């Protein structure tokens, strides 16, 4: 289990909230591909199908809020920092 100090956690929250939504959305798609997470798996955590669709669909700017992204990271055993990776957003496949 990954643990952060309160200061590190606050820094992660601020970084998440200031990261371009396209980067977070692209990272979500990359994470889903790497960890073989399907939209239905995220829906099974209690998120609405409409929200999950919006998070994974290129035509919207919607992304999970920090607490939702953190919950997804915890449930699927990866570091929340995966959402913040600086990647080339043009090379990410849609789920």
Token pair belonging to 86? 């600086």
Interval 9-55: pLDDT, tens: 999 999 999 999 999 999 999 999 999 999 999 999 999 999 999 99
Token pair belonging to 94? 């849609």
pTM strictly above 0.85? yes
Domain limits of the chain? 6-91
Interval 47-69: pLDDT, tens: 999 999 999 998 899 999 999 99
């Amino acid at each position: 289990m990954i643990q952060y100090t309160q200061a590190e956690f606050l820094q992660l929250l601020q970084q998440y909230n200031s990261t371009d939504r396209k980067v977070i959305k692209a990272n979500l798609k990359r994470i889903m591909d790497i960890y073989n997470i399907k939209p239905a798996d995220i829906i099974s955590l209690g998120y609405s199908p409409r929200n999950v669709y919006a998070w994974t669909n290129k035509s919207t700017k919607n992304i999970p809020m920090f607490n939702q992204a953190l919950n997804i990271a915890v449930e699927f055993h990866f570091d929340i920092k995966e959402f913040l990776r600086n990647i080339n957003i043009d090379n990410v496949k849609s789920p």
